[in-house]
Structure 1
Amino acid sequence: MNKRIAAWMFVAVAAAVAGCAPSLSGGAYSREQVRKEQTVRLGVVQSVRPVTIEGTKTPVGAAAGAAVGGIAGSEIGHGRGAAVGAIGGAVLGGLAGAAAEEALTRRPGLEITVKLDHGGLIAVTQEADERFEPGDRVRVVSGGGVTRVTH
Structure 2
Amino acid sequence: MKKTSIIVAVLCTSMLTGCVNSLSGNTYSRSEARQIQQVQYGVVQSAVPVVLEGTSGIVGGATGAVVGGIAASNIGGGRGKDIATVLGAVAGGIAGKQVEETVTRSQGQEITVRLDNGNLVSIVQEVGEGPLFRAGDRVRVLNGNGTARVTY
Normalised TM-score (structure 1): 0.94
Amino acid at match of 2:38: T
Gapped regions of structure 2 (runs ≥ 5): none
| Same amino acid, percent of matched pairs | 49
Structure 1 residue 9, shift from structure 2 partner: 2.4
| Residues 141 and 149 in structure 1, CA contact (< 8 A), matched pair in contact too | yes
User: Hey, what does 1:28 align to over in structure 2?
Assistant: 27
Aligned positions, number: 150
User: Hey, what does 2:88 align to over in structure 1?
Assistant: 89
Amino acid at match of 2:125: Q
Instruction: Map residues 98-113 of structure 1 onto 2, 5 A cutoff.
Output: 98-113=97-112
Instruction: Map residues 117-132 of structure 1 onto 2, 5 A cutoff.
Output: 117-128=116-127, 129-132=130-133
Question: What is the root-mean-square deviation in Å for CA atoms of aligned residues?
Answer: 1.2
Instruction: Map residues 131-142 of structure 1 onto 2, 5 A cutoff.
Output: 131-142=132-143
User: Is 2:57 the counterpart of 1:42?
Assistant: no
User: Hey, what does 2:12 align to over in structure 1?
Assistant: 13
Distance in 2 of aligned mates of 1:137 and 1:113: 12
Alignment deviations for residues 15-48 of structure 1 (CA, whole Å, 9 cap, x no partner) = 3212211110100111111111011111000001
Gapped regions of structure 1 (runs ≥ 5): none
Q: Secondary structure at the match of 2:82?
A: helix
Distance in 1 of aligned mates of 2:22 and 2:56: 15
Distance in 2 of aligned mates of 1:103 and 1:112: 24
Distance in 1 of aligned mates of 2:111 and 2:97: 30
Structure 1 residue 8, shift from structure 2 partner: 4.6
Distance in 2 of aligned mates of 1:15 and 1:101: 11
User: Hey, what does 1:56 align to over in structure 2?
Assistant: 55
Distance in 1 of aligned mates of 2:142 and 2:148: 6
